[in-house]
């Protein structure tokens, strides 16, 4: 649902309305200069011009904030990847004092705003929602969480409280329910297929890897693959958290991802810098011995 034009942040559409008075004064000037122009002609002209201005205003397309990289808080950063696609990176501090980042995406496509994964933790998810509220002309239409861990689904309760529909694979819903967590809505189409069209993305469940429920998200227009924690970055050495992993099946799962999206352009891992297809091969190699 769109908010009134006064909330639009980009473009010049709404300024068109403020041009109304200017146009009106110009028409009055024309009328004075040409006394023989009939009142009916002036009114018709005015109606045509104002209608055109309103059409320009209301056909405005929100392109989202024009940020390259923006620190929302000390634990949350937004980075533009492609027009209409932003990376959200949030940092969690472990009891040891170690800080660790996690990635998610924010996608604006054909007027729909979709969040992939919550920020890591409730406070950063609140900060993310506040930033979205400030920078976009309408709120999130939906969110998807790619697995049950806190670095992916840790802000689910915040989104649900804010009235945002949150969706997940049936396995994720099952695990979160069994752990008495606030559960996302189940994407029923997964019972028939491992690949589901969701809004302007494809959600793909390649089988167990980092966790029993890990999904990846494919953005066909930009050929971006959000691998979440199923995809490892070489800059975050090692296998990461394997407490819930299926290390034998993990490389099989990522080979399926590679086969399904051979023309992938950008790969976003769960942790670490955005990369290319090489991240998929790196992940396969990491678990090749199993
Ligand atoms: Zn995880």
Q: Write the pLDDT tens digit of every residue in 32-76.
A: 555 555 666 655 655 555 555 444 444 445 688 887 999 999 999
149 is catalytic: yes
pLDDT tens digits, one per residue of 119-152: 999 999 999 999 999 999 889 999 999 999 999 9
- Distance (Å, rounded) from C-alpha 232 to C-alpha 284? 9
Do 43 and 147 reside in the same domain of the chain? no
In a domain, 64, yes or no: no
Helix 20-33 crosses helix 39-58 at what angle (to 10 degrees)?
160
Do 51 and 81 reside in the same domain of the chain? no
In a domain, 73, yes or no: yes
- Give how far Cα 106 sits from Cα of 15, 46, 64, 166, 205, Å: 27, 42, 10, 14, 20
Mean pLDDT on 186-195: 97
User: What is the CATH number for 145?
Assistant: 3.60.15.10
Count how many domains the chain has: 2
In a domain, 272, yes or no: yes
92 is catalytic: no
Catalytic site residue from 62, 127, 149, 169: 149
Answer yes or no: is pLDDT of 27 > 60. Answer: no
Distant-in-sequence, close-in-space partners of 232: CB < 8 Å, separation ≥ 6: 239, 240, 269, 270, 271, 272, 279, 282, 283, 286
- Distance (Å, rounded) from C-alpha 202 to C-alpha 53? 38
88 is catalytic: no
- Cα of 80 vs centre of ligand 1, distance in Å, is 23
The pLDDT assigned to 42 comes to 53
210 is catalytic: yes
Do 177 and 279 reside in the same domain of the chain? yes
Answer yes or no: is pLDDT of 273 > 80. Answer: yes
In a domain, 63, yes or no: no
Angle, CA of 113, 226 and 60, to the nearest 5°: 25
Do 54 and 73 reside in the same domain of the chain? no
What domain range includes position 225?
Answer: 69-286
- Cα of 234 vs centre of ligand 1, distance in Å, is 16
Do 203 and 248 reside in the same domain of the chain? yes
- Cα of 136 vs centre of ligand 1, distance in Å, is 29
- Cα of 82 vs centre of ligand 1, distance in Å, is 25
Do 42 and 148 reside in the same domain of the chain? no
Catalytic site residue from 103, 117, 127, 147: 147
241 is catalytic: yes
> Whole-model pTM?
0.80
């Amino acid at each position: 649902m769109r908010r009134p034009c006064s909330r639009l942040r980009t473009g010049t559409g709404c300024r068109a309305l403020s041009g109304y008075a200017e146009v009106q004064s110009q028409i009055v000037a024309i009328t004075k200069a040409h006394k023989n122009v009939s009142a009916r002609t002036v009114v018709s002209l005015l109606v045509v011009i104002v209608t055109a201005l309103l059409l320009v205003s209301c056909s405005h397309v929100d392109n989202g904030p024009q940020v390259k990289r923006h620190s929302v808080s000390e634990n949350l950063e937004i980075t533009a990847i492609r027009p209409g696609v932003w990376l959200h990176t949030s940092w969690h501090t472990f009891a040891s004092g170690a800080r660790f980042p996690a990635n998610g995406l924010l996608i604006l496509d054909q007027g729909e705003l979709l969040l992939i994964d919550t920020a890591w933790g409730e406070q950063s998810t609140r900060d993310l929602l506040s930033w979205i509220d400030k920078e976009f002309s309408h709120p999130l239409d939906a969110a998807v969480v790619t697995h049950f861990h806190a670095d992916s689904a840790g802000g689910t309760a915040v989104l649900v409280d804010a009235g945002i529909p949150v969706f997940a694979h049936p396995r994720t819903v099952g695990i979160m329910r069994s752990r008495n967590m606030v559960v996302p809505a189940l994407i029923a189409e997964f019972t028939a297929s491992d690949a589901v069209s969701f809004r302007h993305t494809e959600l793909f469940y390649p089988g167990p890897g980092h966790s029993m429920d890990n999904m990846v998200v494919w953005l066909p227009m930009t050929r971006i693959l959000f691998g979440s924690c199923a995809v490892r970055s070489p800059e975050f050495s090692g296998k990461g958290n394997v407490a819930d992993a299926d290390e034998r099946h993990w490389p099989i799962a990522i080979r399926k991802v590679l086969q399904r999206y051979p023309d992938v352009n950008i790969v976003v891992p769960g942790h670490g810098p955005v990369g290319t297809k090489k991240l998929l091969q790196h992940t396969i190699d990491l678990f090749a011995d199993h």
